[in-house]
Amino acid sequence: MSAKDSKETKKVKEDKDKDAKVKIERRDVDFSRWYTDVIASADFADYSPVKGCMVIKPYGYAFWESYQRILDKMFKDTGHENAYFPVFIPESFLKREAEHVEGFSPELAVVTHAGGKKLEEALVVRPTSETIMYDSYSKWVKSWRDLPILINQWANVVRWEMRTRLFLRTTEFLWQEGHTAHRTHEESLEEVLKMLNVYKTFAEEYLAIPVLAGIKSQNEKFAGALNTYAVEAMMQDKKALQCGTSHDLGQNFAKAFNIQFQDKDNSLQYVWQTSWGVSTRLIGAMIMCHGDDFGIVAPPRVAPVQAVLVPIWNNDEEMEKAVSTCNRIADEMKKHDIRVKVDSRDNLKPAWKYYEWERKGVPVRIEIGPKDMQKESAVLVRRDVREKIFVQQSEIIPKLKELLDTIHNSLFNKALKFREENTFCVEDWNSFTEGLETKGGFFKAPWCGCPDCEKEIKEKTLATIRILDKRAEMGDKIQGNCFHCSKPATAVAIFARAY
Amino acid sequence: MSAKDSKETKKVKEDKDKDAKVKIERRDVDFSRWYTDVIASADFADYSPVKGCMVIKPYGYAFWESYQRILDKMFKDTGHENAYFPVFIPESFLKREAEHVEGFSPELAVVTHAGGKKLEEALVVRPTSETIMYDSYSKWVKSWRDLPILINQWANVVRWEMRTRLFLRTTEFLWQEGHTAHRTHEESLEEVLKMLNVYKTFAEEYLAIPVLAGIKSQNEKFAGALNTYAVEAMMQDKKALQCGTSHDLGQNFAKAFNIQFQDKDNSLQYVWQTSWGVSTRLIGAMIMCHGDDFGIVAPPRVAPVQAVLVPIWNNDEEMEKAVSTCNRIADEMKKHDIRVKVDSRDNLKPAWKYYEWERKGVPVRIEIGPKDMQKESAVLVRRDVREKIFVQQSEIIPKLKELLDTIHNSLFNKALKFREENTFCVEDWNSFTEGLETKGGFFKAPWCGCPDCEKEIKEKTLATIRILDKRAEMGDKIQGNCFHCSKPATAVAIFARAY
């Protein structure tokens, strides 16, 4: 702390008071409250005066920028290009695909007036862009040589939700939506699974969130798709969170929007389409998968700040030395592409800085105090397990690189172990309901495949099918009877309560 | 051309027919038609079924991605962070700043219904985000220690325009809007000019567009600002295009939204604010500043494709060799961070490929044919002056790097010369109107500083003040009388017809 300014003492007290207000509820007491608390205390986001909309604050938005940078590269490496389509969709467009309009109608925001006049046709603020994009595709596609179309869009979308929750379910959210068109179903299906795998890779290798990837039941598919595939993760409250979807649209939209091409044999064919998306919801997933009672725990590969250097001093002379050492080390780290910050604020005690960066989930904190300055040493503190590691200053960079990988793996393995320990095989209704009520988690069960049966299960327990087991998708024979209705089972389904 | 497939001949004919349809009007015949033609022929954008909205196609969007990448780095290097605020603004918010609502009211798109119900308060789709952002700022700012706030947002905005034009004026457009809050007017003014300079640097050093930077007249300022500063460029039809604005908002919004802080001396003060933005309009500026009768001419530093390699062959064996050589060279170029494409399509003759890449404005085309393969040579063709340069294949990369800089400088100097040749000093009304009608261009004239006089000039000639000369801004004494109303001049103004 600087000795310069005697007013600072008062300031520190104020900050202490302010800090005391940043109380985070314990996860085991009230998970939902904990979630709201950690977001506020880490300065991720705020509710806005517009009902259900959120303000993504700079620190929260920096995570979205990390996600975008990584995903955008993955999309481009798999041959996709970005484009931009209008935010407004004529109401009549949505109605062209029957299931699609039925699925989205209750959630639409509608522009009825513009430029001071009532519009002849009302415009919908896009809830998703299939209809407006495919109207263009129908003009662009003439021959098989125009295929495939591999387009992605980064955009804001609006779905009027009654119950909202920061990042997980907001009236407006940010996302990317890929929309592709292909010559054959074989090709489009390959695309669907390729992008599902991109999402799995992103979740696991960058967010350190283990996911199950698979097909959805017909009740849970996207409105207008033949089939929806999804990646699903388990949160720390044992509920499921859908982390991304990839839709096999078949020729449903191609027929509704007349997207036809002349094939190699001169015949006129409809294209086969896919769409796939992930959203700012993935920020919520990261928080609920890794956070602890001290705040956010950011996975190192997406953390906007991977390490924070905190210089410690007792007087002005020590301050100058410690700060300049930290700045020098930080410059060196930047050359190694490590995202680093030096916290040299002179109005906060080191302990208050520690708490703040802990709340923000920065993977590694590096403390350099007067004794470290003498011994050219430093203390590294892991955010995830809060372990201290003592190193020489010259070893910081290699040690840090190693630590960032260690933390990633540790977060992933911990989450995987948690999911495995909370996934249960059940064969009868009683074990399922008892397990769901007493333990929660994922429940694998033989299921008849009937939408009405699924609906009844949902009504009774609030649990839904997150994905179907691969064997079912492959057409393999399933043993036993449906755990709910006792008809012969046609699939193994994973049931859970979900966000 | 591949000998594999005899059907190809028919295909080439089809492409030729298709190509013949891509007719570009000459600039000197109809500049406006030329503009529409080059955009269509380069696959930049399309009108959408929603009136006034556009679809930015992948190749056009790739330019926006270049702009974003460069500008985002410039914003971050000057200390700004990104965030995201809601697309919807409560109608009442806009009304809090009187000039602001008056300026934007006629252009608003209004959501009256959502989730199947009429909303209690209508929501406006943001035409700009001052009001929704500053509502948050008022909650975030308590002490001078919370300042400055330096936030930027990349977003879509909507202004209902009667007459629209691709990129220049569309109902929805993409932009960035910076919104900052400061302790003093001195600081906020420094920010205004700093960001104006960022825009000037971006226009000149990346887009190769020379711009005049200066202050706007009170008639032309942003609705709600104290003063607006702008960068203005001359297009090839001698009209002006505003390429970016930076607003000194004073304390107008701070008072309307009650953004107050406790200053160092414990007094309660209103913050001083700025906002600044550039949009997809800059794509139109680039097209109209550099394009020629063959199509787009892309400035090298923002071109998504800086060089295209076109292998030429007479038979399959030659094809394989030429394509693999081009791929090898392209891989080498990518290591040097050159953005390159190999056009190895086997259904198009080289000449058709040349036309296509010319229309798309790729700065350098590299042709490698059978003779080049023997002599290990290549032909480089500059897009801007269409000059051929013969080199050894081993020299391609250094030569290309040099050429990309040469082209940038050449484009800039050509545009600068054009602007200088078409900027005239006038001291009386007759010279002005005659010059405007016969030659067009920018006209520097002594002006009284009176809004009514400016309004009359606009009504009579459609010319507006683009910026005021710096001397006026500095308070220096101006010689002579107003060229229009003959009252004593208080400023030198630059008049032009503008987009």
Tokens 């040493």, residue?
Answer: A377
* Mutant choice from A64, A111, A119, A120 vs B, greatest count of B C-beta within 10 A: A111
The tens digit of pLDDT for each residue in B251-284 reads 999 999 999 999 999 999 999 999 999 999 999 9
Cα–Cα distance, A68 to B113 (Å, whole number): 32
CB contacts, 8 Å: A84 with chain B: 55-56, 61, 64, 174
pLDDT of A21: 55
A residues 178..237 contacting B (CB < 8 A):
none
Q: Which three-class secondary structure state does DSSP give residue B350?
A: helix
**With an 8 Å Cβ cutoff, are A48 and B174 in contact?**
no
CA angle (B84 as vertex; B78, B85 as ends), nearest 5: 125
pLDDT reported for residue A469: 79
- If asked whether residues B51 and B197 sit together in one domain, one would say yes
Task: Show residues of chain A in contact with B11, CB under 8 Å.
Answer: 145
List, edge to edge, every strand of the sheet that includes B227-234: B81-82, B149-158, B172-182, B272-279, B240-250, B227-234, B212-215, B464-468, B491-496, B442-447, B423-425
Is residue B197 assigned to a domain? yes
Average pLDDT of span A339-348: 96
Cβ-Cβ contacts under 8 Å, A179 against chain B: none
Q: What percent of chain A has pLDDT over 70?
A: 94
What number is the average pLDDT over the span B471-483?
72
DSSP string, B97-164: SHHHHHHHGGG-EEEEEETTEEEEEEEEEPSS-HHHHHHHHHHH--BGGG--EEEEEEEEEE---SS-
CA R_g for chain B: 26
pLDDT, one tens digit per residue, over B272-317 is: 999 999 999 999 999 999 999 999 999 999 999 999 999 999 999 9
A136, A160, A161 ranked by CB distance to B46: nearest:
A136
Same domain, A234 and A373: no
- Strands (E) across A43-201 are located at 45-47, 54-56, 81-82, 88-90, 109-114, 117-125, 149-158, 172-182
In DSSP terms, B212 is beta-bridged to B232
Residue B21's pLDDT band, with cuts at 50, 70 and 90, is low
Alpha-carbon gap, residue A366 to A353, rounded angstroms? 11
Rounded to whole angstroms, the Cα distance separating A64 from B473 reads 42
Residue A417 burial (CB count, 10 A):
11
Q: Do B58 and A50 touch (CB under 8 A)?
A: no
Q: Are residues A67 and A160 in the same domain?
A: yes
**Closest among A195, A200, A197, A201 to A248, alpha carbons compared:** A195
From the list B54, B86, B106, which residue is nearest A116 (CB)? B106
- Please tell me which of the candidates A57, A86, A115 has its beta carbon nearest to residue B55: A86
Instruction: Label residue A100 by pLDDT band (50, 70, 90).
Output: confident
Q: What is the DSSP letter of A499?
A: -
User: Are the beta carbons of B311 and B322 closer than 8 angstroms?
Assistant: yes
CB contact under 8 A, B86 and A46: no
| Chain B: residue whose CA lies nearest to A57 | B83
Residue A382 lies in a domain: yes
Structure tokens at B297: 């001419």
> What six digits make up the tokens of A380?
């590294």
Mean of pLDDT over chain A = 93
* CA proximity to A240, closest of A478, A467, A5: A467
Q: Which residues pair with A468 in a beta bridge?
A: A215, A493
Alpha carbon A64 to its chain centroid, in Å, reads: 9
The answer to whether A61 contacts B54, with C-beta atoms less than 8 Å apart, is: no
Omega of the bond leading into B488 within 30 degrees of 0 (cis): no
Cβ neighbour number for residue B419 with a 10 Å cutoff = 22
What whole-number distance in Å separates Cα of residue B217 and Cα of residue A245?
52
Whether B387 is in a domain gets the answer yes
The rounded distance, in Å, linking the Cα atoms of B405 and A156 is 37
* DSSP conformation class of A481: B
Q: What are the pLDDT digits (tens) for A103-145? A: 898 999 999 999 999 999 999 999 999 999 999 999 999 999 9
Indicate whether A413 belongs to any domain. no
Measure Cα distances from A61 to A43, B10, B82, B153, B181 in Å. 10, 53, 7, 10, 19
| Distance of alpha carbon A341 from alpha carbon B204, whole angstroms | 32
Contact A136 B48 (CB under 8 A): yes
> How many alpha carbons fall within 13 Å on the CB side of residue B162?
3
**CB contact (8 A) between residue B84 and residue A49:** no
Does residue B98 register a pLDDT over 90? no
Q: What is the pLDDT of residue A6?
A: 44
Q: Kindly state whether residues B367 and B324 are assigned to the same domain.
A: yes
Which H or E element spans position B379? strand B377-382
On whether both B122 and B246 belong to a single domain, the answer is yes
Grade residue B374 by pLDDT with cuts at 50, 70 and 90: very high
| B476, pLDDT greater than 80 | no
CA distance A429 to A461: 11
CATH of the domain at B433: 3.30.110.30
Asked whether A243 and A199 are in contact (CB, 8 A), the reply is yes
Residues A261 and A174 in one domain: yes
Looking at residue A99, what is its pLDDT? 87
Q: How far apart are CA B50 and CA B39, in angstroms?
A: 19
Taking only Cα atoms into account, the Rg of chain A, rounded to an integer number of angstroms, comes to 26
Give the span between the Cα atoms of A180 and A68, in whole angstroms.
19
B9 pLDDT tier (thresholds 50, 70, 90): very low
The DSSP symbol for A436 reads H
Q: Could you say which of B368, B391, B412 is where a domain stops?
A: B412
> Are A259 and A375 contained in the same domain?
no
Reported as a pLDDT band with limits 50, 70 and 90, residue B5 is very low
Q: Write the DSSP assignment of B179-209 as a string of letters.
A: EEEESSHHHHHHHHHHHHHHHHHHHHHTS--
Residue A26 included in any domain: no
CATH of the domain at A326: 3.40.50.800
For B:120-179, CB contacts with A below 8 A are 123, 125, 132, 135-136, 139, 145, 151, 155-156, 158, 160-162, 171-172, 174
Residues within 8 A of B (CB atoms), A 27-66 only? 46, 48-50, 53-58, 61-62, 64-65
Question: Cα dihedral angle (A452, A453, A459, A464), rounded to 10 degrees?
Answer: -110
Model confidence at A163, pLDDT cuts 50, 70, 90, reads confident
Query: Any chain B CB within 8 A of the CB of A73?
Result: no
Q: Which residues of B touch A87 (CB under 8 A)?
A: 53, 87, 125, 156, 158, 172
Q: Give the CATH number, domain containing residue A153.
A: 3.30.930.10
Tally the C-alpha atoms within 13 A of residue A139's C-alpha that lie toward its C-beta: 12
Binary contact (B83, A151; C-beta < 8 A)? no
Which site among B7, B8, B47, B50 would you substitute to test the A interface, given the most A Cβ atoms closer than 10 Å to its Cβ? Answer: B50
Same domain, B373 and B279: no
One-character DSSP codes across A278-324: EETHHHHHHHHHH-BTTB----TTT-S-SEEEEE--SSHHHHHHHHH
In the prediction, which pLDDT does B226 show?
Answer: 96
Helix (H) or strand (E) holding B359: helix B350-360
Contact A42, A295 (CB under 8 A): yes
Residue A356 lies in a domain: yes
Closest CB to A84 among B88, B125, B174 = B174
Structural contact between residues A66 and A384, judged by C-beta atoms closer than 8 angstroms: no
Residues 6+ apart with CB under 8 A from A284: A35, A165, A166, A167, A168, A241, A499
Q: Nearest chain A residue to B7 by CA: give it.
A: A264
Residues A194, A223, single domain; the answer is yes
Residue A7 lies inside a defined structural domain of this protein: no
Q: Which residues in chain B have their CB less than 8 angstroms from residue A136's CB?
A: 46, 48, 55
Measured CA to CA, the distance from residue A30 to residue A48 in angstroms comes to 24
Residues B71 and B212 in one domain: yes
pLDDT at A5: 44
pLDDT at A96 over 50: yes
Instruction: Quickly list H helices, B42-97.
Output: 58-77, 91-94
Residue A23's CB: how many other CB atoms inside 10 A?
9
Q: What is the mean pLDDT of residues B90-108?
A: 90
- Please give the average per-residue pLDDT across B235-261, as a whole number: 97
Pick the closest to residue B154 from B53, B259, B84 (CA basis).
Answer: B84
Residues A365 and A434 in one domain: no
Q: How far apart are CA B431 and CA B122, in angstroms?
A: 51
Chain A segment 318-357 residues within 8 A of B by beta carbon are 347
Tens digit of each residue's pLDDT (9 = 90 or more) over B179-211: 999 999 999 999 999 999 999 999 999 999 999
A296 occurs within a structural domain:
no
Q: Do B115 and A162 touch (CB under 8 A)?
A: yes
Helix (H) and strand (E) counts in chain A: 16, 23
Which run of H or E residues covers position B39? Answer: helix B31-41
pLDDT at A300: 98
Average pLDDT, chain B: 93
A188-226: pLDDT as tens digits: 999 999 999 999 999 999 999 999 999 999 999 999 999
Kindly state the average pLDDT of the residues A365-378: 96
Whether B235 and B285 have beta carbons less than 8 Å apart is answered as yes
Residue of A nearest to B107 (CA): A115
Identify whether A148 is preceded by a cis peptide bond (ω within 30 of 0): yes
Strands (E), A35-99: 45-47, 54-56, 81-82, 88-90
Region at A440 (left for phi over 0; alpha for psi -120 to 50; beta for the rest): left
DSSP secondary structure, A92-131, as one string: HHHTTSHHHHHHHGGG-EEEEEETTEEEEEEEEEPSS-HH
**CA A211, CA A199: separation in Å to the nearest integer?**
9
Instruction: Considering only the beta carbons, identify the residue of B11, B61, B114 that sits closest to A84.
Output: B61
Residue A325 structure tokens: 């050492």
Is the pLDDT at B439 greater than 50? The verdict is yes
Domain with A314 in it: 307-402
Inform me whether the pLDDT recorded for A155 exceeds 90: yes
Distance from CA of B86 to the nearest CA of A (A): 6
Provide the domain count of chain A. 3
Residues B406 and B428 in one domain: no
Question: A226-256, pLDDT tens digit by residue?
Answer: 999 999 999 999 999 999 999 999 999 999 9
Interface test with B, best of A10, A17, A50 (most B CBs within 10 A): A50
Q: What is the DSSP string of B294-333?
A: TB----TTT-S-SEEEEE--SSHHHHHHHHHHHHHHHHHH
pLDDT score for B126: 97
| B295: phi then psi, degrees, rounded to nearest 5 | 140, -155
- Residue A480: band (very low, low, confident or very high) from pLDDT cuts 50, 70, 90: confident
Contact criterion met (CB below 8 Å) for A8 and A347: yes
